[in-house]
Amino acid sequence: MVEADRITGVAVTRAERAVVWLKPDHIIVYDRAATQSAGKFKRWWLQLPRPATVSGKQATMTTASGQKLFVTTLLRANAVLTAVITIQPGAGAATDDGGVLLIGH
């Protein structure tokens, strides 16, 4: 678990992360955050090798070799999942696609 009671220079007063690996292929990430003032927008970013597809509370990403990643949020009903393409086709990168999954509320 990673824990920070106070991060200087920002409005975050608490940031914790717990990671559990369930063999053979499940990873659970549980984050907790608190800010100095109520109503601050909190985001969780996940860098992906390819763009994700979002459907409701779940995002799916398939690698070039066919492996699948499923991300499901446990946030309240108004949480928003957004898939963002970070590398445009033909941009000269090692691969022509990439993505970020943004979960926010």
| DSSP per-residue codes, 13-48 | EEEEEEEEEETTTEEEEEEEEEESSTT---EEEEEE
pTM: 0.65
Average pLDDT, the chain: 75
**What are the tens digits of pLDDT across the range 10-42?**
678 888 889 999 999 888 888 888 888 777 777
**Domain chopping of the chain, boundaries:** 1-40, 41-105
72 token code pair: 């499901």
53 token code pair: 């597809």
